[in-house]
Chains A and B, each alone.
Chain A
Amino acid sequence: MTDDRARRPAAEDRSDDERTADHAEIDRLATELVPALIAKLAATGLGEIEVREGPWRVRVRRPAAAGTDRGRRSTDRPSRAQPGHAGHGHPPAGFETHRSAREGRGPVAHSTNGASPAGTPVGPGASDQEPSGSAGGSRTDSQTRAVATSPAVGVYQPSRDASPGSRVRSGDRLGVVDMLGVAQEVVAPADGLVGASLVEPGQAVEYGQELVIIELAAEPGQTTGRAPAGEA
């Protein structure tokens, strides 16, 4: 368990030889370990995997964009994949290599490959339309109110700045559902005022469960009105 690297001086004092050796080691990890981790990440659907190898710590992570990337939603339709044949199709987009903090050294490498973030859906959102028409995201039970629904199965926590009565725009964050440590955003399905909450903070919720009522604004199509009082 003795590792003389742990007692080495800080990064800036390293000799050229040590730097070269480190770079060679990073190259080796990038070609040998990282592809296997990427494959594992793609197969498991996890958000992040971190492993230690000797003094190195390698973390592979999906792009964080999926939960907030509203622009992509309109095309994010369910595929008709057959069970047992899917699950290999979403490449994770980034990996990082770190020296373990335990070894007393800062990160010496940080690289990101350029894989496309396409096909890494994490949670549904406000405009996510399912063919069945019962998509997660929003339900309008009348012309005056809409309901924000859960993007995932997990534990709900409302945002502090989306308390009842506050004004929100479509897509604003109302809270999160924690699914195994990954926060999935609960977003407002329409412009309006935050109304009654249908679940308690910290409560377990299922996918598509109704969470928060949004009282619709008088002029839902309005795009400039952040302010004026008295319109309701």
Chain B
Amino acid sequence: MFRKILIANRGEIALRILRACRALGVEAVVAYSEADRDSLPVQLADEAICIGPADAKRSYLSAPAMISAAIVTGCDAIHPGYGFLSEDEGFAEVVGAHDLVFIGPPAPVLDRFASKESTRRLLASHGLPTIPGSNGVLRDDAHALEEAARIGYPLLIKPSAGGGGKGMRMVRTPRELEASLNVCRSEARAAFGDDSLYLERWLDENRHVEVQVAVDRYGHGVHLGERDCSVQRRHQKILEEAPTPALSPAAREDLCNRAIRAVVEAGYENVGTLEFLVDSAGNYYFIEINCRIQVEHPVTEMLTGIDMVATQIRIAAGEPLGFTQADVVPRGHAIEFRINAEDPENDFRPSAGTIERYLAPGGPGIRMDSHLFAGYEVPPFYDSLLGKLIVWGQTREIAIARSLVALDELVLDGIITNVAIHQALLRSDAFIEGRMTTNLLDRVGGAAFLAAAART
């Protein structure tokens, strides 16, 4: 096991990693920017080090600053959390070159899964269904038109590198395709330094279901069930639950078994998440793999009782997984609500301010992962996540009922949050009946969704 870990992140995930380190008996150093000097993880840490100014490019995204901080504080490993440097294979490589361990997949493994397009082909070759798409990256416009005719419209143009919607376009006709290719190339080149594109069939109404896996260095892997993340706004997840209401127990079992078999065969290591789109007929298609701990990992922890962050750290330290598929017994139903500093009445505009009062809800099956405290000034420089409320119940109905109580109990004064949208979701027929699709909230609009909930 490691002696001392540098936590290269902020907010609730820095706190979550700190807690995992303590439970494992490993010392931890919290790396922070000037804007986070008074944050809870910094206050609770045994040791903290300022790595740069508020600007993330010069602090949380600066590989040299992070590695230098790890070296001067005597750490032997770096935990990147999610976002920031967590999926940067270049960072993982440089960390390794300085005799430090990157807590995540080893650099060569990250490298193998860095390109979405080649990962899609790799895992397809190991038996995962993928969305019908182009055969490799597009060579030129003529190749694109040829492939498009074979796949059928509407289509999604996607860059092979990166994510976040940059360089992505939905096209309905050959003319639109021709007009969009150059725009996508230049967007992808500007954002990722790589302008290779590929095509995928566009699935209009779909659900987002992902499978959590954990694979140790010795090729022993288990899946920890799936999570449904279909409640999204502009491709950002806002609520996650498990099990997914979209698939039968037999279909869920089949999906999870195929996912873990494919990644073990393809040589994946450490914890990871395979994302799938599920269409209205219940067909599922692999889209991408996330090689890090995810925001919504507590949903899986509530169902399985397994500490995902501790598991991740132990695997990176070279320990065997220590449990088998038979030991993973998901129980009940869990829902996670991302509590964001944004205003659902005003197009989810980000809000900033000082937390005047804060009281986390409690009771059976209730967990609050948050870095908030009364008097905390939410810095405007980073993402809007204030915390996550995770609620467990023996059944989905019980989980929903407990969630309404918990959201009502939550006191969070001084800043505008999206709690109202969660309350509206829990009262909406679409959510109660398990019919949420990834574009529903965008199609209806946040304000209209709130108004509809208020009428019922």
Binding site for B on A (CB under 8 A): 35-36, 38-40, 42-47, 77-90, 121, 124, 128, 130-132, 134-136, 152-155, 179-180, 182, 204-209
Contacts and interface: CB of A to CB of B under 8 A. Distances in A.
Nearest to A181: B64
A152 B65 contact: yes
B63 A88 contact: no
A39 B57 contact: no
Nearest to B84: A83
B193 A84 contact: no
B198 interface: no
Contacts of B193: 35-36, 38-40, 42-43, 88
A199 to B, nearest CB: 12
B192 A39 contact: yes
Contact of B52 (A87, A132, A153): A153
Chain B interface size range: 35 or more
Contacts of A134: 34, 37
B54 interface: yes
Contact of B88 (A43, A81, A82, A124): A43
Contact of B34 (A154, A179, A208): A208
6 A-B pairs with the lowest CB-CB distances in the bound complex, closest first:
A39-B193, A78-B55, A204-B72, A44-B90, A84-B83, A83-B83
Contacts of B194: 39
B286 interface: no
Interface string B380-391: 111100000000
Interface in B70-100: 71-73, 83-85, 88, 90-91, 94, 98
Contact of A130 (B34, B56, B57, B91): B34
B317 interface: no
A137 to B, nearest CB: 10
Given A179-B64, A179-B65, 8 more contacts: A35-B193, A39-B192, A78-B58, A78-B381, A86-B61, A124-B58, A130-B53, A132-B35
B67 interface: yes
Main secondary structure of the interface of A (DSSP, over half): loop
A85 B164 contact: yes
Given A136-B53, A207-B50, A84 B65 contact: no
Nearest to A78: B55
Contacts of B55: 77-79, 81, 121
B351 interface: no
Contacts of A121: 55, 57-58
Contacts of A152: 52, 65, 68
B65 A153 contact: yes
B186 interface: no
B50 A153 contact: yes
Given A46-B63, A87-B88, A206-B51, A82 B383 contact: yes
B49 interface: yes
Contacts of B90: 40, 43-44, 46
Given A88-B191, A121-B58, A207 B52 contact: yes
A83 B57 contact: no
Contacts of B61: 45, 83, 86-87
Nearest to A38: B193
A154 B65 CA distance: 8
Contacts of B190: 88
A90 B58 CA distance: 11
19 contacts: A36-B193, A44-B90, A45-B63, A78-B381, A79-B57, A83-B84, A83-B382, A84-B383, A85-B164, A87-B56, A121-B58, A130-B54, A136-B53, A152-B68, A153-B49, A153-B68, A180-B71, A207-B53, A207-B65
B439 interface: no
A205 B72 CA distance: 8
B62 interface: yes
A208 B52 CA distance: 8
A20 B98 CA distance: 40
A135 B383 contact: no
B416 interface: no
Contacts of B337: none
B199 interface: no
Contacts of A81: 55-57, 381
Contact of A83 (B37, B60, B73, B88): B60
A47 B51 CA distance: 17
Contacts of A206: 49-51, 69
Contacts of B51: 153, 206-207
Nearest to A134: B34
Given A83-B84, A134-B34, A207-B52, A182 B64 contact: yes
A41 B334 CA distance: 42
A86 B162 CA distance: 12
B64 A180 contact: yes
B172 to A, nearest CB: 28
B380 A80 contact: yes
A207 B54 contact: no
A207 B164 contact: no
A110 to B, nearest CB: 23
Contacts of A79: 55, 57
A215 B68 CA distance: 31
A210 to B, nearest CB: 12
A214 B93 CA distance: 41
A36 B54 CA distance: 29
B64 A155 contact: no
B412 to A, nearest CB: 21
A46 B94 contact: yes
A84 B290 CA distance: 13
